[in-house]
Amino acid sequence: MDLFPDQTMNIQKENTQTATIKDSLEFFPVALFGSTVAIAGLSIAFKQSSVLFGLPPIAAQSIGVLAWILFIFLTILYLAKIFRFPDSVKAELTHPVSANFLGTFFISAVLLSSIAIPFSLDLARITWISGTTGGSIFMFVLTYRLFKGELNVLDAVPPTLIPGLTVLNAVTAGVGMKLGIIENETGTILFSLGIVYVMVFFVIIAYRLVHREPIRIFLKPTLLLMSAPFTVGFLSYVSQVKHVDLFGSALFYFGFFIFIVLFFIVFTKGLPFMISWWGACFSTGALTNASLRYAILSQDLIVKGLAGFMLAAASVLILSTFLLTLRLQINGKLLRP
């Protein structure tokens, strides 16, 4: 007979909760690294805004610290998932769609490397080299897999662009690493691989979206990734040529056009909150940074006004998504099948 029934029940309850927390790791999606991409991008946007609008640097620094803390926390969780649920990780990373989200880990690394530059150039270089090397290998593996064939055309969805976006982001972040004579050629190689990749698959995905059935509701926010080849492409291009020319303008304005078109398709009445909203945050952050960079280089008043508007819009969207994600976790609905 149990002499302490209340204590026993409490212990059983605690054990159940602990088991639930551990088991929830099985459903921890690699796509959650999209949150660190978006938050790191917002930090970079505020850093650019301190140049364009004179905003205090502390805002960019605080957001950057948050992005680093979140990245380290998510990395620890995903490593725990790898050791505890290797079959689940294997299934996720061999899936024709979800595997692409691994790129958000490498994009996070290269973006965070640029945030680390003022504090530690060595840390920034190590993070950038790790993210760029891993991202390049990741792009090679997924490209190799694609060209083996026998993939369902319906799996050609916007996240397929992420491998190319990984190396394009590395180009922009690599400018501040001061790597000497290898910096320019490395940037040229990465830009060449990334820009052709995203343009080719942009056409393939656009064909699928136009001529086949709509993508499922979970992936709907990722439609905004269709603007990223142009906005991220613009950022990486001007980081190499150091000015805005006609080609750069074409990349920027078409990316802006696609973003506006798809924004009103994505955010319709009744759209439920899902972690895939982070894909929309990533794209919004990319357009914001492209607008700010364009305004800094061109000093055009119209683009400057657009950049200010996009900074406010990105801040609201990312903050809202962050709070809604926290609410899901508090309610126990974030990490579940």
Burial 281-317 (b: 16+ CB within 10 A, else e): bbbbbbbbbbbbbbbbebeeeebbebbbebbeebbeb
Between 148 and 7, residue with greater pLDDT? 148
d(C-alpha 56, C-alpha 299), whole Å: 20
Whether residue 7 is predicted with pLDDT greater than 80 in this model: the reply is no
Closest CA to 197 of 142, 246, 152: 142
Task: Choose the weakest-confidence range: 63-72, 148-157, 268-277, 287-296.
Answer: 148-157
Between 223 and 14, residue with greater pLDDT? 223
pLDDT at 74: 95
- 146 burial (CB, 10 Å; 0-12 / 13-18 / 19+) is middle
| Cβ atoms 307, 51 nearer than 8 A | no
Instruction: Give the model confidence (pLDDT) of 153-193 as tens digits.
Output: 888 899 999 999 999 999 999 888 888 777 778 889 999 99
Rg (CA), the chain: 21
Enter the pTM of the model.
0.90
Instruction: Give the model confidence (pLDDT) of 70-125 as tens digits.
Output: 999 999 999 999 999 999 999 999 998 999 999 999 999 999 999 999 999 999 99
Tell me the percentage of the chain whose pLDDT exceeds 70.
Answer: 92
pLDDT at 147: 86
Q: Which amino acid is at 168?
A: L
Mean pLDDT of the chain: 89
Tell me the CB-side half-sphere exposure of residue 161, using CA atoms within 13 A: 30
Of the pLDDT bands very low, low, confident and very high (cuts 50, 70, 90), residue 332 is: confident
pLDDT at 3: 44
DSSP state of 56: -
Whether residue 40 is predicted with pLDDT greater than 60 in this model: the reply is yes
pLDDT at 66: 96
Q: Which amino acid is at 203?
A: V
pLDDT at 22: 53
| Cβ atoms 187, 245 nearer than 8 A | no
pLDDT at 262: 95
Q: What is the mean pLDDT of residues 228-257?
A: 95
Whether residue 132 is predicted with pLDDT greater than 50 in this model: the reply is yes
Of the pLDDT bands very low, low, confident and very high (cuts 50, 70, 90), residue 337 is: low
d(C-alpha 112, C-alpha 299), whole Å: 27
Burial 4-19 (b: 16+ CB within 10 A, else e): eeeeeeeeeeeeeeee
**Which residues make Cβ contacts (< 8 Å) with residue 206, sequence separation at least 6?**
226
d(C-alpha 291, C-alpha 284), whole Å: 11
Domains of the chain: 29-330 (1.50.10.150)
Helices H, strands E: what count in the chain?
A: 12, 0
Closest CA to 232 of 174, 166, 185, 281: 166
